[in-house]
Chain A
Amino acid sequence: MDGSDPADASDAAPSPPDVEVPDALADVVDADTGEGELERTIGLVGGLAIGIGTMIGAGIFVFPGLAAENAGPAAAVSFAIGAVVALLVALPAAELATAMPRSGGGYFFISRGLGTAPGAVVGLGLWLGLVFASAFYLVGLGSYAGQVFLEAGIALPVDPAVPLGVAFGVGLTALSLFGTENTAALQNAIVIVLLVILTLFLSYGSLDALGVFGAESVPERFFPPGGALPVLQTAALVFTSYLGFAQVATVAGDIKEPSRNLPLAMVGSVVVVGVFYVVTIFVATSAFGSARLGEFGETAMVEVAREFVGFPGALAIVIAGLLATFSSANASILSASRAVYAVSRDDLIPEAASRINLAYGTPHVALGLAGGPIVALAATGQVELLAEVASFLHLVMYGLICVALVRLRRERPDWYAPAFRCPAGVAVAGVGGVASFALIAFMQPASIGVGVAIMVAAYGWYRYYATDVELRGDF
C-alpha cells in the first residue's frame, strides 16, 4: 500500500501458534511497514454480531406492518426474495473481501476492481446510503421509545417517534465521538439477548399459528390483489433489512483470520436474519389481518406479541425493538464514518475528513459528517423514503460488486488471490448483479429520483475534485 520496505515487511514475526491459524493474507496486510502493525480483534462471533445486529432491527421491528399492508401474507415472499438477492451478493462480496481484507468494504472492492469513477460514486454513495439507513433506524428507534410512553399510559400531544429519533441521533453521535468504552462486547450481548427473545417468541407464535394451542388461524388470501407486483415492490422496500452483511466487510481490516471469518460472517448473518424475517411475517400475518397490521405501523410487532402473550409479550418486544433499532442505528453511524475514512484515505475527499482526535482517538470529522446529515434526515420522518434511498444506494453498490467480481475473475490481476472462492462465481455474480439492479426498478419514483440525484452529485464531485486519482489495482 504505502511504499513499504520489502526487507522490513519480511521480518514480520510468525503468528502465535495456537491463538489463531496463520493467515497469509492478513499477515501481508498487517505487516509492519515501519509505522507499526495492526491488531485484528474481531472474531467470528463479533463479525456475525455486526452483521446480524445491523440488520435485524429493521426487518423484524420496523417493516412487518408496512410490508404486510402492501403485500399481505406474501410479504414473507418479499423477505425471501430479499434474502436470495442478498445471498447472491454476499457470496461474491465475501470472495472480494478475502482478497482485499481492508476497511472500506464494497467501496474498496469497486475502486480497486473497476476504477476511480465507479469507486467515487459508490464510496460517496455508501456514506450517504448509510446515512439514510441510520436515519431510518433512528425513526424506528423513536417509534419504540414512543411506545414506551404508550405502554406506561402517558398520553403525548404529538407523535414522539420523530423527535425521539432525532434526540437519539444526537446522543449516539456524541457517544461515538467521546465514548471509548468497549462497545463490541455490548453489541455481542445485545444480539444474543435479541436472538433469545425472538426465538422464544417466534417459536410460540409459529406453533400457535399452526393450531397447536387451539384453533388454527384461518389464513387470508396469500397473494395481495395486485398479484406479484406488490410483492416485488415490497421486496425493494424491505431490502434495507439486508444491508448489514456489507457492514461486516467495512470492518474487514479488524477481523481475525479474514480468510475464514469474513465469508462465514457475511453469508451466515444473511441466512440467520433471512430465516427470522420470513418466520416473523408468517407469525405476524397469522395473528392479524394484513390491513390491521398496517394500521399498527412501525410497532406492529408489539401488538402481535400482545395478542399472543399479553402485556409481558408486548413489553419484551418493546425492549427487544429498542435494543435492535439502537444497535442498527449505532452500527450504521459507525460504518458511515468508516466509509468517509475510506474515501478520504484515497484522496477522493480532503484528508481532513479522516483526521483523528488524539484525546479521544475517534475520527471526529468523519463522525460529524455521518451524524449531522443523519439527524437532519431523521427529522423528516419519511420512513419509507429513507429506507428505499438507503436500499437504492446499497443496491447500486451490490450490483457493481458483482460486476467487479466478474471483471477480476476474467482479468486475473496478480494481486487478486482470494482465499475464499465463491462457487460458480461468475454465474452467481451475474445473477446477483442483475437482481440487484432489477430490484431498484420496483421502488417508488421519489426514491429512485433521490438516489439518482445523489449518484450524479457524487460523480460531479469526482470530476471536480479527484480526476487525477488512480485507484484500480492500487494497494
Chain B
Amino acid sequence: MPDTPADDDAQPAPDRPSVLVPLAVLEGESLPAGTPELLANARVVLLGYHVIPEQTAAEQAREQFGETAMSKLDEFAARLATAGADVETRLVFTHDRETTVDRLIYEHDCLAVLVPNSTEQVESVLVALRGTVGVGRNTRLVAGLFADAGVAVTLYHALDEGESRDDGEAFLNGVRSDLVERGVDPDRIETAVEEGGVPIDAIASRAESHDAVVMGETDPSVTTFVFGMPSEQVAERFLGPVLVVQRERPEA
C-alpha cells in the first residue's frame, strides 16, 4: 500500500483483515487509547473526515483545514503502525459522513468498521453472532486480529424464536472449530448461548466483562432509523470499542 509508513519489514500478510477507523479529526476526535493494541494485526484504513455544512464548498474547507487535519492524521497513523498495523490514511471533506464511510468500505474492501472508543487493555473479546449468514467474515476478522495475540474470545448467540438451545450450541461449536482451524487457541474460546430477549441489552450487559465487542451490521430499517444502528446503541452503552463486521459488498 502506497501510504503505509513504517512497515518495511512487515510480511505481506494476505490474511490481515482490513478495518476502517473513521475519525472526525477536526472535531477533536483522536485515536482512543487501546486502539493500536486492538488493531495491531489489522490492515487499518484510517479515515479522517470532516463533515461540512452544505453552505460551504468542500474545496473551501480543504483549503483552510487540509494541512492541520492531515498532520493530526499522520500522527495517529504512526501510533497504529508502531503497534504493528499496516496503515493507510485517507482524509475526506464531505457533506455526508455515511456516503464517505460507505465509499471507503467498498474501495478498501473493509471487513469491519471500528466504532472508536477507548479501552485499557485488550484481553478478552465478545463476539456476538446472529446466524450462519456471513459468519465467515466474523471468523476471518476475529482470527486475523486475535489469533496470535493471546486474546480470550467469547462467542455469544441469542436464540431466535423456534431455535433450540442445541441448535445454538451446534452453531457456535461450528464457529469455534472454524476459528481453531484459523489458528485461534481452543483453550481461549468460550461459548455462550442465551434465550432470546432484547439482543442489544444482552450484548451490552455481557460486554461489560470484556474489552471489545465484535458484532454484525444491521440492515437499515424504520427501527434503526428511529433508534440508531444496534452497533451504535451497543457502543453507547458499552463505551468500549466495537468492531462492526460489514456484509459482503456486491461486486461491480
Contact = CB atoms under 8 A, between A and B. Distances in A.
Given A334-B54, A355-B64, A363-B60, A17 B252 contact: yes
Interface stretch (A81-89, A220-228, A337-345): A337-345
A363 B64 CA distance: 11
A345 B60 CA distance: 8
Contacts of A103: 57, 59-60
A365 B137 CA distance: 49
B22 to A, nearest CB: 13
B55 to A, nearest CB: 5
Interface stretch (A34-42, A137-145, A307-315): A34-42
A36 B55 contact: no
A19 B52 CA distance: 22
B26 to A, nearest CB: 7
A17 B248 CA distance: 13
B252 A37 contact: no
A184 B66 CA distance: 24
Interface in A356-409: 356, 358, 360-363, 367
A356 to B, nearest CB: 5
A13 B107 contact: yes
Contacts of B60: 103, 341, 345, 354, 356, 363
B53 A179 contact: yes
Contacts of B62: 35-36, 38
B96 A34 contact: no
Contact of A38 (B64, B69, B92): B92
Interface stretch (B13-21, B97-105, B190-198): B97-105
Interface in B81-125: 90-96, 99-100, 102-103, 106-108
A42 B95 CA distance: 9
Given A253-B57, A253-B59, A356-B60, A39 B94 contact: yes
B67 interface: yes
Given A13-B108, A14-B107, A17-B252, A38 B55 contact: no
Contact of B95 (A37, A39, A367): A39
Contact of A16 (B3, B54, B66, B103): B103
A176 interface: yes
Contacts of A102: 59
Contacts of A355: 64
Nearest to B51: A361
B59 A361 contact: no
A254 interface: yes
A32 interface: yes
B93 A36 contact: yes
B56 A361 contact: yes
Contacts of B96: 39, 41
A183 interface: yes
B108 A183 contact: no
B251 A39 contact: no
B50 to A, nearest CB: 8
B61 interface: yes
A41 B57 CA distance: 11
B92 A39 contact: yes
Contact of A37 (B2, B26, B92): B92
B77 to A, nearest CB: 14
B237 to A, nearest CB: 27
A338 B61 CA distance: 12
Contacts of B66: 34-36
A103 B61 CA distance: 12
Interface string A163-185: 00000000000001001101110
Chain A residues touching B, majority SS: loop
Contact of A360 (B48, B53, B251): B53
B219 interface: no
A303 B173 CA distance: 75
B171 to A, nearest CB: 31
B91 A183 contact: no
B70 interface: yes
A19 B106 contact: yes
B67 A35 contact: yes
A358 B220 CA distance: 32
A362 B51 CA distance: 11
Interface string A1-30: 000000000010111111100000000000
A38 B107 contact: no
Contacts of A179: 53, 55
Contact of B26 (A35, A183, A358): A358
B250 A18 contact: yes
B222 to A, nearest CB: 17
A343 to B, nearest CB: 12
A460 B243 CA distance: 60
A37 B90 contact: yes
Nearest to B95: A41
Interface in A25-73: 32, 34-39, 41-42
Contacts of A14: 107
Contacts of A34: 66, 70
8 contacts: A16-B106, A19-B106, A36-B48, A36-B70, A39-B58, A41-B99, A356-B60, A363-B60
Interface of B: 2-3, 26, 48, 50-67, 69-70, 90-96, 99-100, 102-103, 106-108, 250-252
